[in-house]
Chain A
């Protein structure tokens, strides 16, 4: 047994609320061993991020404060150090990386200056040139191609994955012995996530760093952890060696958390979508073969990028390039792909929210050229549920009014009838009608998404476009919302166009799946065809990148100098070439490339 590097004892953190102080971390204790990885796992509100910020003494003051406990590093209690001395711990002994690579870097400073700032945070003895050389060395360590050139770039010129690598480089600039990583890959695409996780493992092995990894994703836990500490509402629920925890979870909450995690490939051999919580599925007849609910042919969305004195188009962004698909009644088609692949743009085009070319027919009616009042009858049949349940509800309207609004706009109900209908919708999505008078901020994320679903359902649409609708939710809530969506489909026969980046979620809910890359489809087929027999290399890559909640699985190899996605911005005269897909039988289409 090696002696611990950092020893946390009875850490308690309080947050001030209008109703008095609230304990968000309660008597948390753990020991971090040299060179090992400890994962703090839990859902939102479990206090895992607060723990990380306390250790760095970076809690948002004066709102949050450390109410008790100690954290001993090199014989010092770092929780009690005054700011001036704590500053010397930060960066030197403990580095930290954060969740949002998009906002974690200063937008008005070059990458180089920020890195050099991190290198020289505690004084520069060896001169600017040495600092610059060190910056290049760091960028090379985090596997960023062309490190020299990157130094002069600004954060907005780089992708999320590259930015996160730079944040990691900044955290490692002064060779700390502990790296605290607060959800470092949550905001990234799966393939990038896989690269970053592998990178952290490599850096850890090369430099013998100890890592405290904070995550909500049990898949990431399985990939990274030596030890796991499961937290719920600020309390330690279970603390065990990673393999032990996954093999024999002791606590009921840990079991619940593990069972809620969708596992890729768990549905092999089944046709219909499945309930997450193992509820009996009533076998419904296969989606009807009559006229498709939605037919999209050759959909193309391009955005002009303007410039010059006269603001004429100079370049063009090819967001969606000639995709065709149809969704039958009662069917769920998933569009899956990474950020920037055009999946959300496709969803917006269906509701005429972006200009498009091609042909879109909803229930046989073409939507070409419709706008305003002529589009309204179509919108009765097509509704949308968005990703962020916090931003998609007007904070100044009562939730009952929000759900009633579409009915009023379409003049479908009023007075008592309207109230009855809204009440019914609230019950339908699992909320009580008494909650109708409240405002959005009084609800949790999952409840808000239920409200969004109720609003979408209010017009009894025939097709719901769900754009990353469960991406912002905790896994247990996510499972409930997915169940709700499927219940509604069974009951009403509504079709879903389910837009998601999450392969595991897609596997659960879909009848059919289309994989998108750079504005095109690369593969389309039934769920079984895609998940059990993926053909396109990109589909395979996507699936291989999903973290699997099984620590026994061999950890993925580190990929040196991975490049980003190519740019979808092209010259004006660029005409994409099309190759027809090859049909592998049973509607399984694969495109070249």
Chain B
């Protein structure tokens, strides 16, 4: 087990290095000039050149990259070009908000997704099933900013149940979490439905019924632990979806997380922040998958981590 985790973390280092390289190349190739952005439109060519020199942007590509990686190894993500603050500090101050939002979204996804999926599977072919599956399809296909704005309009503006935006109380958390979880709930409900239908067809369900086990026991004790396995693997992958989702959702709701930080940095070509947020997100995705892989064998004894 420890050996397995050690190996996976070792792989993570390689993955992060690869991602840092690809992102660095892409940011190097984009036509926007960070030095010009910092200096402002009215700055002289000399000023721009000075800034470029100061930030090391005049160096050849490989040297810039090596400097960056050398910093990373020492835990230094660099400084923001514009805010002059340590990127690590910026991210650290924003991360808790994003993690909170993510936890809220996962809760929403699981509550809505699993319930819808189980009900649809048990009422397979009925009108309830059709309705739930249409709803999940809407969840999967509707853009998040549309859902976010709709929810804001109905529940914050018209009904006034929740604040329009901001951060701080539980009420603030509800609408962003639901918006972010909407997509996942759609996926989970479909996955849970097909997985449960498949499991209910298995021989061991028939064996359990033949011993006289009741409906609830067959469902919760025998079917669910088997049916939930693919969903758990999905949660790991989902964290990747969240990372793109929070950029949109945090902007719509004015949520002070790393999504907003990234959004602002992209607009201003603040390369150290973009790099930092990308790496932190990548790490979160890798960690999410690792967690999912660690949880699975707790439910399914056939899976051995080696």
Contacts and interface: CB of A to CB of B under 8 A. Distances in A.
A91 interface: yes
Question: Of residues B209, B211, B225, which shows the largest number of chain A Cβ atoms within 10 Å of its Cβ?
Answer: B211
B211 A171 contact: yes
A58 B302 contact: no
A114 B301 CA distance: 14
Interface string B204-245: 101111111110010001100110000000000000000000
Contacts of B221: 109, 117
B66 interface: no
A109 B222 contact: yes
B3 interface: yes
Given A98-B207, A170-B207, A307-B306, A108 B212 contact: no
A154 B300 CA distance: 10
Given A154-B301, A306-B306, A105 B207 contact: yes
Contacts of A307: 306
A311 interface: yes
A56 B300 contact: no
B298 to A, nearest CB: 10
A541 B205 CA distance: 36
Interface majority SS on B: helix, strand, loop or mixed?
helix
A228 B203 CA distance: 27
A410 B135 CA distance: 52
Contact of A108 (B211, B217, B300): B300
B212 A104 contact: no
B213 A121 contact: yes
Contact of A91 (B6, B210, B302): B210
A171 B210 contact: yes
Contact of B3 (A92, A170, A308): A308
Given A98-B203, A309-B3, A106 B210 contact: no
Contacts of A311: 306
A195 interface: no
Interface in A304-350: 306-309, 311
Given A88-B212, A90-B209, 7 more contacts: A91-B212, A96-B210, A105-B204, A106-B208, A109-B222, A121-B211, A307-B306
Interface string B177-190: 00000000000000
Nearest to B204: A106
How many chain A residues sit at the interface, stated as a range, is 35 or more
Contact of B212 (A92, A100, A105): A92
A307 B304 CA distance: 10
A174 interface: yes
A90 B201 CA distance: 19
A444 interface: no
Contact of B301 (A121, A156, A309): A156
Contacts of A174: 211-212
B202 interface: yes
Contact of B206 (A87, A91, A98, A308): A98
B7 interface: yes
B134 interface: no
Contact of A103 (B202, B212, B222): B202
Contact of B211 (A109, A154, A156, A173): A173
B299 interface: yes
Interface in B241-287: none
Given A98-B203, A108-B300, A156-B301, A122 B212 contact: yes
A400 interface: no
Contacts of B300: 107-108
Interface string B1-12: 001001100000
A95 interface: yes
A211 interface: no
A56 B225 contact: no
Contacts of A167: 207
A118 interface: yes
What are the 7 A-B residue pairs with the smallest beta carbon separation, nearest first?
A: A91-B212, A118-B211, A90-B212, A103-B203, A121-B212, A91-B211, A96-B210
B210 A90 contact: yes
Given A117-B221, A154-B301, A309-B7, A107 B204 contact: yes
B214 A100 contact: no
Contacts of B225: 108-109
11 contacts: A90-B209, A90-B210, A103-B204, A105-B204, A105-B207, A107-B302, A108-B301, A108-B302, A154-B301, A154-B302, A309-B3
B295 to A, nearest CB: 13
Contacts of A92: 212
B210 A58 contact: yes
Interface in A67-98: 87-92, 95-96, 98
